[in-house]
Amino acid sequence: MTNSERLSENPAWGGAGKHAWFSHNRLGMFIHWGLYALGARHEWLKNREELTDEHYQRYFDNFDPDLYDPKEWARRARLAGMKYVVVTTKHHEGFCLWDSKVTDYKAPNTPCGKDLLTPLVEAFRAEGLKIGFYYSLLDWHHPDFPIDLHHPLRNHPEAKALNAGRNVANYAAYMREQVRELLTGFGRVDIIWFDFSYPGPAREYRGLPGKGRADWQSERLVELARELQPEIIINNRLDLPPGTLPDITTPEQYTPRVAPALASQGVLWEACHTFSGSWGYHRDEDSWKSPEQIIQLLIDSVALGGNLLMNVGPTGRGTFDARAIEALEVYQNWMAVNARAIYGAGPSELPAPAGCRYTQRGNRLYLHVYNWPYRHIHIEGIADRIAYVQFLHDASEIHWVTHTRDVDPNVGVMVPEGIVMLELPVRRPDVTV
């Protein structure tokens, strides 16, 4: 089996199967949007500030994203090179962006007065992006969701009394009804992104009962998703029976050092990250990743055979704020020249030089130089020391040239933050790619 055949079977490449689109596309947009955007201080604000429903009601009563323009969101995502979107249809606060028939806690009942999800799906689909729905297992508004260690009322003086009579089985049935709505009401859904169950035994908190694996009735959610959308990708945040493999794993806010594996076999994976320190819009969050960092996140993921899902938290008025737009434009500028090193690319068998990464697509090797402006990059296994590599179109070998800055604009480029991507035709006697 040649390398290219083997690589095509490698889960890192999505295999030839129904999920091949996922690995090919590599970059997606995560969107965290809900009532918390009005609070402008993190999507967990209800939990962090231990707000009662009455206190939090002010965000519901004033939610009216008058500047909401999903077509503009979708355009920004496409320009940034993002090929799929995962949007929070319902986050832990329990508020639904769509016109769910099983709750009143939804966008059409706010001053906004309309379903926000349908126009988003239509806009992103029109821009050619695949559709993913994030759905929170936690629900801090639902009357049957038990008050537990993550609940905003966990420290309420009447917590135990408030928790009495809550029936988690009723809540699990509610989840199935909502997942049914999401997977039957919006055409093809490519990803369902559940978040999150508590693995392992139930953990009590100050006399409040925890939730265990059985409470989520995860298997029934998976069965339902597979029945309604047979091609759908399901992530790994449902607490499934041991040995049950998700379609993708989802390392969060870090890039694995080695490609993730489950049950000692390769698995599709997607690292999810924020541009800032918050998933939901946070006005005062000032730890935004640099342009170089967000480009490296993408390269690192692909070099290890994974995807990157980068998050935007729209404001309470329905806009991407200036910092988010600036970050998306970093991807737009870099992908405009370097997309060929990302889409359909994956790991290389060749060891990358120090301070560099390799991504490979067929017989094209992409050298991503992080430690620029080092002049000499020793590439093992292909050639001796090089000062600089010039990509020769369809050449059968690599010519080493002395360092020059006037690089052919079609290949290696100096991006703003010093990451140079060069494209190399790979030719080694022992490797047929």
- Report residue 430 as tokens: 């022992």
Q: How far is the CB of 279 from ligand FHN (least distance, A)?
A: 4
Residue with the shortest CB distance to ligand FHN: 279
Q: Residues for the chain: how many in total?
A: 433
Nearer to ligand FHN, 44 or 320 (CB): 44
Q: Quickly tell me which residue has 């970050």 as its tokens.
A: 327
Using CB under 6 A as the criterion, what x/- string covers residues 250-279 for binding ligand FHN?
--x-------------------x------x
Whether the CB-CB separation of 431 and 382 falls below 8 Å is answered with no
Whether the CB-CB separation of 190 and 231 falls below 8 Å is answered with yes
Q: How far is the CB of 252 from ligand FHN (least distance, A)?
A: 5
Ranges within 386-405 binding ligand FHN (CB under 6 A): none
Q: How far is the CB of 225 from ligand FHN (least distance, A)?
A: 18
Neighbours of 16 (CB within 10 A): 9
Distances (CA, A) of 212 to 152, 171, 176: 19, 14, 18
Nearer to ligand FHN, 148 or 195 (CB): 195
In the sheet with 191-195, reading across from the earlier edge strand, the strands are 233-234, 191-195, 130-136, 84-90, 27-31, 307-312, 268-274, 248-249
Q: How far apart are CA 7 and CA 426, in angstroms?
A: 15
Q: How far is the CB of 158 from ligand FHN (least distance, A)?
A: 25
Max Cα–Cα distance, the chain, nearest Å: 76
Q: How far is the CB of 196 from ligand FHN (least distance, A)?
A: 5
Give yes or no for residue 43 binding ligand FHN (CB under 6 A): yes
Written as one letter, the residue type at 359 is T
Written as one letter, the residue type at 8 is S
Give yes or no for residue 139 binding ligand FHN (CB under 6 A): no
Among 196, 198, 320, 358, binds ligand FHN (CB under 6 A): 196
Q: How far is the CB of 43 from ligand FHN (least distance, A)?
A: 5
Written as one letter, the residue type at 281 is Y
Nearer to ligand FHN, 239 or 423 (CB): 239
Q: How far apart are CA 49 and CA 190, in angstroms?
A: 35
Give yes or no for residue 56 binding ligand FHN (CB under 6 A): no
* Residue 41 DSSP code: B
Nearer to ligand FHN, 252 or 292 (CB): 252
Q: Quickly tell me which residue has 């998933």 as its tokens.
A: 279
Using CB under 6 A as the criterion, what x/- string covers residues 218-257 for binding ligand FHN?
----------------------------------x-----
Q: How far is the CB of 193 from ligand FHN (least distance, A)?
A: 8
Whether the CB-CB separation of 311 and 300 falls below 8 Å is answered with no
Q: How far is the CB of 134 from ligand FHN (least distance, A)?
A: 7
Which residues, including other chains, have CB under 8 Å from residue 132's CB and lie 6 or more apart? 28, 84, 85, 86, 87, 189, 190, 191, 192, 193, 233
Among 195, 215, 239, 423, binds ligand FHN (CB under 6 A): 195
Nearer to ligand FHN, 237 or 364 (CB): 237
Provide the binding-site residues for ligand FHN, judged by CB under 6 A.
Answer: 43-44, 195-196, 252, 272, 279
